[in-house]
């Protein structure tokens, strides 16, 4: 059946059913908009939450000093297990699945620029800390490097917030800041980043100096933490057990004693978070799809009305030789066209809203999570599939009923 004839008949039907057609199209538009926006906000929320977690620790395992809670080979409960720098090298050499190990010191310090002072938590680390904690510098600066570590340089990398408190809008890179009465040269500034997990405050307020410099000034021997990054995130659980086995052999404690060396496994947290947000996205998608299906009922309703009002016309077509599948195809074409017109409007509106949302600056509140919806190809494909299914089903059943009417009875219909 020629496409232009189908379109002509479609617009003739629309003219006779203006109100129903308009309301049905609006329903499809709203349903499509609901599906896309719910899925886009769900995807955006899960992405931002994942980014916030990875910004606190990119697929790492943090290891802390602890205290034994299980007896081991006659040794008493309650022994302190205190980690040292050597443990980093022992773990790297003993466990092939480890990509990098970073020992770290930490303490609260006071920073001063002239008469302006601020306090923060300062850490002494290796250069690999930059990737492990996503502390990437702003343009014009850098993170600490191997030469800083080897020469025990008095250089500091500052979070953007505390740098702003000390220097205002002035560019602090290359300038000097006094930390606990010791001058340090500022080598880099970290821009603001989303962070959903933290200890001792956000990284935006952190001060980072070389591990060797920290040790030389404060004389620390025992670490605040060890950061381990598995080569493959899927090996995280095994790496965690291997760390306890290796350290258990060195410090003589039961590898099953989790309190001897407490760990914070970001890899497992990220996996759990991904499952949670996948469930949320599925739930939101089902809710949106139900809204669209309800709109599909409206399409089916208008097609039933059209079929009833065109009974005589259908009878004439049948009488002159039109087959059932011609009638069915015509109705399916019209219902699918209504679905795609409404769906196209819904998609266009969704794109406009999403684009507008991204123009609004993300605040520190809920908008930094909800204000960044993401429209994925998967969402578009799902919406297209649902619209196609609605068009086919909403047109098929009224068409089948109409095509089964006897030509003689149809011609008698007034």
pLDDT at 294: 74
Residue 37 domain-assigned (yes or no): yes
- In terms of domains, do 203 and 325 share one? no
First-residue to last-residue Cα distance in the chain? 26
**Residue 50 is part of which domain span?**
3-54+270-412
For residues 309 and 396, membership in a common domain is answered with yes
Q: For position 306, what pLDDT does the model report? A: 64
Q: Is residue 60 part of a domain?
A: no
**What is residue 345's three-state secondary structure?**
helix
Same domain, 130 and 242: no
Please check whether residues 390 and 274 belong to one and the same domain: yes
Question: Is 281 part of any domain?
Answer: yes
Residue 400 burial (CB < 10 Å; 0-12/13-18/19+)? Answer: middle
Task: Tell me whether residue 117 is in a domain.
Answer: yes
Are both 83 and 126 inside the same structural domain? no
Residues 216 and 303 in one domain: no
Could you give the 3-state DSSP secondary structure of residue 13?
helix
Quick one: tokens of 234? 């899927």
Which of 104, 81, 133, 110 shows the shortest CA–CA distance to 220? Answer: 104
Residue 161's Cβ-side half-sphere holds a number of Cα atoms within 13 Å equal to 13
User: Structural domain tally of the chain?
Assistant: 3
Output the tens digit of pLDDT for each of the chain's 414 residues: 456 555 565 566 556 566 666 777 787 788 788 888 888 888 888 888 888 888 888 889 999 999 999 988 888 899 999 999 999 999 999 999 999 999 999 999 999 999 999 999 999 999 999 999 999 999 889 999 999 999 999 999 999 999 999 999 899 999 999 999 999 999 999 988 888 777 888 888 999 999 999 999 999 999 999 999 999 988 999 999 999 999 999 999 999 999 999 999 988 888 888 888 888 878 877 877 777 777 777 666 766 666 666 666 666 665 555 566 666 677 677 777 777 888 888 889 988 988 888 887 766 666 666 777 888 777 777 777 777 777 777 767 776 766 666 655 545 544
**What's the token pair of residue 298?**
């409206």
One domain, residues 147 and 103: yes
Query: 69 and 27, same structural domain?
Result: no
Q: Of 200, 307, 247, 272, whose CA–CA distance to 94 is shortest?
A: 247
* pLDDT, position 7: 58
Note whether residue 105 is domain-resident.
yes
Q: Would you say residue 180 lies in a domain?
A: yes
> Residue 414 corresponds to which tokens in the numbers above?
């007034």
Q: Is residue 322 part of a domain?
A: yes
Do 350 and 408 belong together in one domain?
yes
Is residue 344 included in any domain, yes or no?
A: yes
* CA–CA distances in Å: residue 57 to residues 24, 147, 199, 290: 49, 25, 11, 38
Q: Tell me the sheet residues that pair with 226.
A: 63, 103
Query: Same domain for 274 and 368?
Result: yes
Residues whose CB is less than 8 angstroms from the CB of residue 328 and which lie 6 or more positions away in sequence, other chains included: 395, 396, 399, 400, 403
Task: Quote the pLDDT of residue 245.
Answer: 94
| pLDDT at res. 8 | 61
CB hemisphere CA count around 300 (13 angstroms): 17
Residues whose CB is less than 8 angstroms from the CB of residue 224 and which lie 6 or more positions away in sequence, other chains included = 64, 104, 105, 106, 123
Q: Do 150 and 219 fall within a single domain?
A: yes
Query: Strand runs (DSSP E) across 150-213, as ranges?
Result: 155-159, 176-179, 182-190, 207-210
- The helix (run of H) or strand (run of E) holding residue 124 is strand 116-125
My answer on whether 277 and 365 are in the same domain is: yes
């Amino acid at each position: 059946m020629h496409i232009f004839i189908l379109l002509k008949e479609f617009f003739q039907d629309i003219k006779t059913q203006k109100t129903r057609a308009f309301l049905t199209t609006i329903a499809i538009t709203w349903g499509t908009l609901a599906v896309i926006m719910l899925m886009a906000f769900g995807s955006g929320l899960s992405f931002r939450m994942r980014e916030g977690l990875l910004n606190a620790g990119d697929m790492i395992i943090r290891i802390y000093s602890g205290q034994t809670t299980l007896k081991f080979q006659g040794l008493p409960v309650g022994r302190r297990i205190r980690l040292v720098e050597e443990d980093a090298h022992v773990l790297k050499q003993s466990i092939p699945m480890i990509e990098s190990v970073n020992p770290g010191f930490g303490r609260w310090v006071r920073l001063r620029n002239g008469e302006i002072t601020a306090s923060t938590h300062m850490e002494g680390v290796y250069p690999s800390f930059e990737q492990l904690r996503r502390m990437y510098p702003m343009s014009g600066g850098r993170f600490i490097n191997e030469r800083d570590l080897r020469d025990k340089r008095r250089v500091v990398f500052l979070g953007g917030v505390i740098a702003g408190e000390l220097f205002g809008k002035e560019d602090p890179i290359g300038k000097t800041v006094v930390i606990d009465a010791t001058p340090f040269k500022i080598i880099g500034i970290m821009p603001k980043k989303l962070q959903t997990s933290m200890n001792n405050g956000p990284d935006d307020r952190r001060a980072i100096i070389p591990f060797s410099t920290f040790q030389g000034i404060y004389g620390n021997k025992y670490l605040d933490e060890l950061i381990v990054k598995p080569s493959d995130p899927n090996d995280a659980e095994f790496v965690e057990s291997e760390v306890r086995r290796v350290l258990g052999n060195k410090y003589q404690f039961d590898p099953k004693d989790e309190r001897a060396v407490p760990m914070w496994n970001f890899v497992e947290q990220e996996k759990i978070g991904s499952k949670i947000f996948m469930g949320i996205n599925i739930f939101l998608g089902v809710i949106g799809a139900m809204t669209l299906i309800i709109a599909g009922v409206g399409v089916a309703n208008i097609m039933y009305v059209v079929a009833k009002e065109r009974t005589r016309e259908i009878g004439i077509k049948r009488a002159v030789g039109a087959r059932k599948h011609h009638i069915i195809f015509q109705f399916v074409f019209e219902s699918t066209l209504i679905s795609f017109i409404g769906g196209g409007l819904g998609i266009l509106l969704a794109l406009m809203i999403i684009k507008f949302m991204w123009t609004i600056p993300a605040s520190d509140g809920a908008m930094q999570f909800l204000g960044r919806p993401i429209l994925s190809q998967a969402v578009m494909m799902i919406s297209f599939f649902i619209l196609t299914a609605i068009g086919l089903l909403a047109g098929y059943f009224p068409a089948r009923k109409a095509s089964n009417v006897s030509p003689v009875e149809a011609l008698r219909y007034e």
